[in-house]
Amino acid sequence: MEKIMNYIDGGLIEPSSKKYLDNYNPAEGKVYSLLPDSDIEDVNLATIAAQQAFASWSSLPSEKRSSYLQKIADLIVRDLDALALAESIDQGKPVKLAKNMDIPRAAANMSFYASAAIHFASEAHITDTQAINYTIRNPIGVAGCISPWNLPLYLFTWKIAPALAAGCTVVAKPSELTPMTAYLFSKLCIEAGLPKGVLNIIHGLGSKVGQAISEHTSITVISFTGGTVTGKKIAATAAPMFKKLSLELGGKNPNIIFADCDFEQAVSTSINSSFANQGEICLCGSRIFVERSLYEKFVDEFVKRTKALIVGDPSDEQTNLGALVSEAHLNKVLSYIELAKQEGGEILTGGHRVKLTGRCADGYFLEPTVIVGLGHQCRTNQEEIFGPVVTIMPFDSEDEVITYANSTAYGLSATIWTENLKRAHRVSAQIKSGIIWVNCWLFRDLRTSFGGMKQSGVGREGGWEAIRFFTEAKNVCIRL
Ligand code: NAD
């Protein structure tokens, strides 16, 4: 069985403990590879390597850093098919989605920050004829980058690319549920000739490896994407050490449909924003609010199209929804469907585990599920489910739906469907979330900042924000 290795100081090596964890193929419900059960010793080794590499990497001309990142981007593009297949096997998502979204975006992340490395400029302020103030931005040091399982290579590269571009060296930890593409990525880094120690990838459990990264005194900046509960733990560990933190956390995003929307666009995109990647995208719109005059028509059409979605073998090009990432996660999502029933919800379609035949007979498949009849304040509508489950609720006025939308502890993203431009601006201004899409979903310009409000996170990623995050500003004032 294939053994995934840690990537430390330029080499692929075993964990110090020599112990391994099972890595599952969620579509088959079977172990198909092993990943290192790393611990603090491996994190220490990786951090020492990153510290040793820091002086030369941070002082390398930015063109050189850029060319390494671009080379890695080119290798990802070269290996698109193999990486997409690996991502699909490891995560459960349709291979078609990995090919069209995850892997191209991973390459785009590397390319974007290859370019950012050479275009970044810090500020200068001229105080009339009295002084010139300018800002020097130095890479902070060794960065810890911790990523989740839902968009494995996509989010892994979204963190390490700006860190490397800024001149930091990195100790990175992918999710233990989806380690494979980060491992393949480490091989690409070796092929690209990335200097040893610049990037180190440690596989293993969050409670051991992630915790050791949070606690390590020589890792002075941490970029984390994952659940809100984990984010709180990391903040509790790292904040007293005054580490710089970026926390991209959970969401419970509203999808608001006004009666004057472009109906076809609103329905078809809402199907996508509800069930893409099995609903395992932090930006999925899991609470759909529909203006009452359109409610029945929307629900009928939405349910009809949900029923037509194909839950199936992720390797099949026809499949719309693959497997959930793990049995534990499948059970968690099923428990929320039970909760919704207890809270008085009516399941219009879905609600059950799907039993496929053949190689996928033991896979973790779930029907896309649509629930109505719940109020906005019940637990089903307040807690993140992170699966192919949505609720639909009617509303009568703008003020009412804004209250509903803002009623959770989260504030990650929101979607608004209306053809009324003034309303689009008005409602956007009042929704508390880091990103708002009007008449679209998931569209991203990588130059814009990204991040959550309230319990959806602290800090912003993307564009120059991420380069600023991984650098420390020093201001020099020269009196004229
Ligand atoms: P998770 O919090 O369980 O794990 C995320 C990462 O943190 C994993 O690598 C894990 O091993 C590690 N980890 C676990 N315990 C740790 C600890 N004590 N210290 C340090 N690291 C630890 O999240 P998940 O289940 O992998 O991902 C799903 C969550 O991620 C959802 O809540 C989703 O909304 C969120 N998410 C947010 C964004 C965003 O941009 N805001 C994007 C994707 C996913």
Kindly state if the Cβ of 99 falls inside 6 Å of ligand 1.
no
Query: What's the mean pLDDT when you consider all of the chain?
Result: 98
pLDDT computed for residue 350 by the predictor: 98
pLDDT computed for residue 244 by the predictor: 97
pLDDT computed for residue 275 by the predictor: 98
pLDDT computed for residue 66 by the predictor: 98
Kindly state if the Cβ of 209 falls inside 6 Å of ligand 1.
no
From atom 16 of ligand 1, which residue's Cα is the shortest distance away? 206
From atom 39 of ligand 1, which residue's Cα is the shortest distance away? 248
230, 246, 248, 460, best to mutate for ligand 1 pocket (most atoms within 8 Å of CB): 230
Kindly state if the Cβ of 251 falls inside 6 Å of ligand 1.
yes
Kindly state if the Cβ of 280 falls inside 6 Å of ligand 1.
no
pLDDT computed for residue 161 by the predictor: 98
Q: How would you label 267-281 residue by residue, b for 16+ Cβ within 10 Å and e otherwise? A: bebbbebbbbbbbbb
pLDDT computed for residue 438 by the predictor: 98
Average pLDDT, consecutive stretches of 10 residues, N- to C-terminus, the chain (480 residues)? 97 98 98 98 98 98 98 98 98 98 98 98 95 97 98 98 98 98 98 98 98 98 98 97 97 98 98 98 98 98 98 98 98 98 98 98 98 98 98 98 98 98 98 98 94 97 96 97
